[in-house]
C-alpha cells in the first residue's frame, strides 16, 4: 500500500485541516492519514452529483476557507475536486496528485475545473489553479495499458503543436515497457513544460491556449457520442488520437501540413489503439456536437486549431463541413 501522507507533510502548518478525494480505483493501492472521500473516476462520472458529494464531505468535516482539499486520481477526480474547491465558500485551496498519465501531463495543470452537463463536455466550470501539482510516476505501474495510451495521445499533441524533436522522441519511445522509468519521466516533464508555457501566456484561453485543443474538436465529439454506451465507450485519450488523425488530415488539406504526419498517426492507431469501435460514425451527429464546441464564436461556423507544420499551430480556423466529413470518412476507412 502506497501511503502518500508524507508527500502532504509540507502543507500541514499552512492549513487548518487536509481533506482528500481519492479515486475509487486506487482504494487498494493508495491511502493516507487524512479524512478521505472515495469517488469513481472516468468521464461517465463527471457530473454534478459527484460535485455535491464533495461539497457534502467538506461540510461534514466543517471545512473552512483555511482547509486544503487534495485530489488524488485521474482527470475526472482532479476536475471535480478542483471545481468543488473553487466554489466551496467561494473558493478554497487545493492540490492535485494525478495518478494517470493523462492527468499528469494535462488535466491536473492549468486550472481548468468543472463537469459535463447537458451532454456537453466541461460545459460548466471555472478556472481555479491548484496551489501545487505533485507528480510521482510510481502511480503509473498499476495503470492499465489503455490508460497509458490515453495519456500518450495528449503527449503526441504537445509534440505536434510545439516541438518536432519531442514528437520524434515520442514516436521512438517503446510503449511496451513499464512506464515508471527515467525516459518516461523526462517525456512527462517536457509535456508539462509545453503546457505551462502556453497556459502562462493565456491562462483564460482568450486565444493562444486554444492550441492545446488541437485534436479535440473531433475528439470530443467522438468521446461524447459514446459516453453512454459502456460497451463501446471511447476514452478521452483514444478520442484525442482519432481527433488528431482527422484534424491533421484537415491541416494537410487546408494548410499543407506534411501528409507523413497523418500516416505516422494512422500507423500508431493500427499498432496500438485500434480503429474506433463505436456506434458513433454518423457524421451528422458528430458535426452537431462540434457546433457546441467552446471555441466557436457563433452558431454557424465550426472552429478548429490546425497545424501548418509541426510546431506551427494556428487557432480559430473555420473549416467547411464538407472537409470535416471528408476527414471523418478518412478516419473511419483508413
Ligand atoms: N486541456 C486543454 C487545456 O488545459 O487547455
- Residue 227 is placed in which grid cell? 459516453
Is 286 close to ligand 1, i.e. is its CB under 6 Å away? no
Nearest CA owner, ligand 1 atom 5: 212
Angle at 199 between CA 48 and CA 195, to 5 degrees: 95
The number of the ligand 1 atom at minimal distance from the alpha carbon of 213 is 2
pLDDT at res. 231: 59
| Nearest atom, ligand 1, residue 210 CA | 5
Q: What is the pLDDT of residue 200?
A: 97
Give the number of the atom of ligand 1 that is nearest the alpha carbon of residue 112.
4
Pocket test for ligand 1, best of 110, 111, 121 (most atoms within 8 A of CB): 110
pTM value > 0.85: yes
**What Rg do the C-alpha atoms of the chain give, in angstroms?**
19
Task: State in Å: Cα 199 to ligand 1 middle.
Answer: 8
- How far is residue 109's CA from residue 199's CA, in Å, rounded to a whole number? 9
154 lines ligand 1 (CB under 6 A): no
What's residue 139's pLDDT? 93
Task: Determine if ligand 1 sits within 6 Å of the CB of residue 219.
Answer: no
CB of 157 within 6 A of ligand 1: the answer is: no
* 332 CA distance to ligand 1 middle (Å): 26
CB 104 within 8 A of CB 184: no
Which residue CA neighbors atom 3 of ligand 1 most closely? Answer: 212
- Evaluate: CB of 106 within 6 angstroms of ligand 1: yes
Ligand 1 centroid, distance to 273 Cα (angstroms): 22
The finding on whether 212 has its CB within 6 A of some atom of ligand 1 is yes
Secondary structure (DSSP) of 73-110: ESHHHHHHHHHHHHHGGG--EEEEEE-SHHIIIIITSS
Check residue 228 and give its pLDDT: 65
Q: SS3 breakdown of the chain: % helix, strand, coil, rounded to 5?
A: 55, 15, 30
CB of 95 within 6 A of ligand 1: the answer is no
Atom of ligand 1 nearest to the CA of 106: 1
Q: Is the CB of 216 within 6 Å of ligand 1?
A: no
The pLDDT, as a whole number, for residue 232 is 63
Long-range pairs of 118-124 with CB within 8 A, sequence gap ≥ 24: 119/224, 120/224, 120/292, 121/43, 121/220, 121/223, 121/224, 122/79, 122/294, 123/292, 124/48, 124/83
- Residue 79 beta carbon below 6 angstroms from any ligand 1 atom: no
pLDDT score at 164:
98
- Using a 6 Å cutoff on CB, does residue 112 contact ligand 1? yes
CB 21 within 8 A of CB 205: no
Which residue is closest in CA terms to ligand 1's atom 4?
A: 110
Q: What is the pLDDT along the chain (334 residues), one digit of tens a residue?
A: 788 999 999 999 999 999 999 999 998 887 889 999 999 998 889 999 999 999 999 999 999 999 999 999 999 999 999 999 999 999 999 999 999 999 999 999 999 999 999 878 899 999 999 999 999 999 999 899 999 999 999 999 999 999 999 999 999 999 988 888 899 999 999 999 999 999 999 999 999 999 999 999 999 999 988 876 665 678 899 999 999 999 999 999 999 999 999 999 999 999 999 998 877 778 998 999 999 888 888 888 999 999 999 999 999 999 999 999 999 999 999 9
∠ CA 311-314-316, rounded to 5°: 155
Sort residue 12 into left (φ over 0), alpha (ψ -120 to 50) or beta: alpha
Amino acid at each position: 500500500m502506497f501511503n502518500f501522507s508524507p508527500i502532504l507533510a509540507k502543507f500541514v502548518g499552512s492549513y487548518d485541516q487536509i481533506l482528500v478525494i481519492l479515486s475509487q480505483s486506487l482504494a487498494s493501492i493508495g491511502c493516507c492519514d487524512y479524512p478521505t472521500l472515495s469517488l469513481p473516476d472516468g468521464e461517465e462520472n463527471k457530473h454534478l452529483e459527484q460535485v455535491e458529494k464533495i461539497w457534502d464531505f467538506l461540510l461534514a468535516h466543517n471545512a473552512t476557507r483555511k482547509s486544503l482539499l487534495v485530489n488524488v486520481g485521474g482527470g475526472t477526480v482532479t476536475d471535480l475536486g478542483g471545481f468543488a474547491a473553487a466554489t466551496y465558500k467561494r473558493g478554497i485551496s487545493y492540490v492535485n496528485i494525478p495518478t494517470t498519465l493523462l492527468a499528469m501531463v494535462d488535466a491536473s495543470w492549468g486550472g481548468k475545473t468543472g463537469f459535463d452537463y447537458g451532454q456537453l463536455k466541461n460545459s460548466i466550470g471555472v478556472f481555479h489553479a491548484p496551489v501545487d501539482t505533485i507528480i510521482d510516476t510510481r502511480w503509473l505501474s498499476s495503470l492499465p495499458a489503455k490508460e497509458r495510451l490515453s495519456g500518450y495521445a495528449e503527449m503526441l499533441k504537445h509534440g505536434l503543436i510545439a516541438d518536432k524533436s519531442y514528437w520524434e522522441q515520442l514516436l521512438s519511445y517503446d510503449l511496451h515497457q513499464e512506464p515508471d522509468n527515467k525516459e518516461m519521466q523526462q517525456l512527462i516533464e517536457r509535456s508539462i513544460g509545453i503546457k505551462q508555457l502556453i497556459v502562462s501566456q493565456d491562462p483564460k484561453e482568450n486565444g493562444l491556449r486554444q492550441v492545446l485543443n488541437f485534436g479535440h474538436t473531433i475528439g470530443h465529439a467522438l468521446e461524447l457520442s459514446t459516453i453512454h454506451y459502456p460497451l463501446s465507450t471511447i476514452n478521452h485519450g483514444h478520442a484525442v488520437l482519432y481527433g488528431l488523425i482527422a484534424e491533421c488530415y484537415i491541416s494537410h488539406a487546408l494548410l499543407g501540413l506534411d501528409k507523413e504526419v497523418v500516416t505516422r498517426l494512422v500507423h500508431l492507431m493500427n499498432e496500438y489503439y485500434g480503429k474506433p469501435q463505436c456506434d458513433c460514425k454518423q457524421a451528422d451527429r458528430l458535426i452537431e456536437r462540434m457546433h457546441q464546441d467552446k471555441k466557436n464564436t457563433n452558431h454557424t461556423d465550426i472552429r478548429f486549431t490546425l497545424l501548418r507544420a509541426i510546431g506551427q499551430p494556428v487557432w480559430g480556423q473555420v473549416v467547411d463541413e464538407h472537409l470535416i466529413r471528408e476527414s471523418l470518412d478518412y478516419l473511419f476507412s483508413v
